[in-house]
Structure 1
Amino acid sequence: MARRRLPWIALVLLGVPVLTALLGPWTAGGEAPQEGALPSRPPGAGHPLGTDVLGRDVLALVLHGGASVLGSALGALLIGLVAGVPLGLLAAGPRRGLDEAVMRGLDVLLAFPGLLVLMTLAATGHREWYWLVTVAGLLQVPAVARLVRGAALTPGSRTVVEALRMQGHGWASIHLRYLARELAAPVATDAGGRFAVVLYLLASANFLGLGLPASSPDWAVLIERNSPALFTQPAAVLVPAGLLTALCVGGNLLVDRLLAAKRRNP
């Protein structure tokens, strides 16, 4: 019974923050609220979730803040996949020298801690959201490329690839038709977990003040701004933190269940 309920749990956990991010700005209407009420007030009339440390309505901030979270994480994940998958396939090709050049170059990037790179970026004055998303995405490229290369070098894959090559099939036909199908499951599984990694990295950067400005309604920024008032106004911290957690857990659960269903019903 628990296994049957799990997809619904995943859908609920993922659906709540996603719908909040997509429909929140439209539901709240207008721009994010500005200062105008007493700071750190508990939930009450006119403010269902209370106010934050700047006197802004927490509910309106939460409704406006999910779009930046979801958009930034998906954008960074897409950059990592678009750059990492072709590099992994290229490294798995028959040319040994090309494999070494690609993987050793990616090892250099892999050696840099993500937060340290974002701190350096912020110190040079590049705090715009597109810089944050681009760099966070590029930091995922080495891990994605290694995964794709490893999956493409499995004995079964190599045997079929050699057979197709002997039959005269070109690189594009082999990699885009056969290997793409073989790699779909591991890449999708990794993408579910990598989404949580990207979300954690971006949220940490915003929490540390390395990304979006302090006035942003982004959920991670809200957590950082209101953490000193956790015990006097917990909703301002726990609601955005709960939405971030649900987004990570729900995404991983849903990907795992879809892949498990595919294995049972190939």
Structure 2
Amino acid sequence: MTAPQAMAAARRGRPWAALLLLAVPVSAAALGPWLAGDATPGPGALPSRPPGAGHPLGTDVLGRDVLALVLQGGASVLASALGALLIGAVAGVPLGLLAAGPRRAFDEGVMRALDLLLAFPGLLVLMTLAATGHRDRYWLVTVAGLLQVPAVARLVRAAALAPGTRTVVEALRMQGHGWGYIHLRHLARQLTASLVTDFAGRFSVVLYLLASANFLGLGLPHSSPDWAVLIERNSDALFTQPAAVLAPAGLLTALCIGGNLLVDRALARQREPR
């Protein structure tokens, strides 16, 4: 096999690796709650026991079955990250398109306000939220999504500035089309690739932020089976019962890497000659 053929074969094989990496955590999150057994410690259950009979991944620090916890905890991870991304997109994309419009004063006002929000560290905001008693999951997801608005709006504005000055946009204005048609239909289609690429990477950022908050005890309660909470609860038993930490950590890693690889491959195929 020649070098070009080997490279082509590697490119063809890459989606399968990405799909496999992504399918494992997504399947665990989607099907796990129905497949998981009872994680409640049974009579005589010992904490931080290694894998053995009756417990394929051992037990955690509370004596609960790690496999059942891992299968139950993925749904909250996936739903929280996707919910925060959706909030960031719904608020950030229209703001970015508005800032890219012809009104320079509005552009300056929106960008300076978003710069102020961008200056706040995400974990500091979540710590302040927790200190005021707002530890509910919905608060955590909402604030994590709002923290993504400045970056999303800046990306959309930068990507829409050049297309917004092209002749076709001026022609659409002369034909009587309004702002909504030009920006939400014409310009938004041209921003799809940039937004998809950004959201793939931003998914990892949101996942890291939510996982860090849960790891520090700012989000979900300690009894939650969330993967980040499991890592935090069992970190002291890493050397005596590594499966309780490595299993949820591996699923979080596979979720980030698999999503990024799959999006990169999909965008690369759009550039390949047909």
Q: Same-fold call, TM > 0.5?
A: yes
> Quick one: which of 111, 115, 132 aligns to 2:123?
115
2-structure distance, mates of 1:191, 1:216: 27
> Are the aligned partners of 2:100 and 2:164 in contact in 1 as well (CA < 8 Å)?
no
1:167: Cα distance to partner?
2.8
- TM-score w.r.t. the length of structure 1 is 0.96
1-structure distance, mates of 2:189, 2:78: 27
2-structure distance, mates of 1:152, 1:163: 17
Structure 1 residue 10 corresponds to structure 2 residue 18: yes
Deviations 1:217-264 (A, max 9, x none): 000000000011001100000000000000000001111111111222
Aligned AA (1:237): V
CA RMSD in angstroms, aligned pairs only: 1.2
- TM-score w.r.t. the length of structure 2 is 0.93
Structure 1 residue 53 corresponds to structure 2 residue 61: yes
1:166: Cα distance to partner?
2.5
Deviations 1:196-237 (A, max 9, x none): 000000000000111101110000000000011001100000
2-structure distance, mates of 1:140, 1:219: 22
Q: Aligned residue for 1:158? A: 165
Q: Aligned residue for 2:109? A: 101
Moved over 6 A (4+): none
Deviations 1:185-206 (A, max 9, x none): 0001000000000000000000
2-structure distance, mates of 1:56, 1:6: 37
Aligned AA (1:33): A
Q: Aligned residue for 2:240? A: 232
1:174: Cα distance to partner?
0.7
Aligned AA (2:266): L
1-structure distance, mates of 2:192, 2:273: 16
Aligned AA (2:84): A
2-structure distance, mates of 1:59, 1:84: 38
Alignment of 1:1-266 (within 5 A): 1-29=9-37, 33-36=39-42, 37-154=45-162, 156-159=163-166, 160-264=168-272
Q: What's the secondary structure of 1:46's corresponding residue?
A: coil
1-structure distance, mates of 2:120, 2:244: 34
1:133: Cα distance to partner?
0.1
Aligned AA (1:95): R
2-structure distance, mates of 1:109, 1:234: 39
Deviations 1:54-109 (A, max 9, x none): 10000000000000000000000000001000000010011111111111111111
1-structure distance, mates of 2:224, 2:82: 19
Q: How many aligned residue pairs are there? A: 263
Aligned AA (1:217): P
Identity percentage of aligned residues: 81
1-structure distance, mates of 2:119, 2:93: 19
Gaps of 5+ in 1: none
Q: What's the secondary structure of 2:52's corresponding residue?
A: coil
2-structure distance, mates of 1:83, 1:2: 39
2-structure distance, mates of 1:169, 1:126: 45
2-structure distance, mates of 1:116, 1:13: 32
Q: What's the secondary structure of 1:153's corresponding residue?
A: helix
Aligned AA (2:204): A
1-structure distance, mates of 2:200, 2:165: 26
1:265: Cα distance to partner?
5.8
1:6: Cα distance to partner?
0.7
Gaps of 5+ in 2: 1-8
1-structure distance, mates of 2:110, 2:51: 55
1-structure distance, mates of 2:234, 2:70: 13
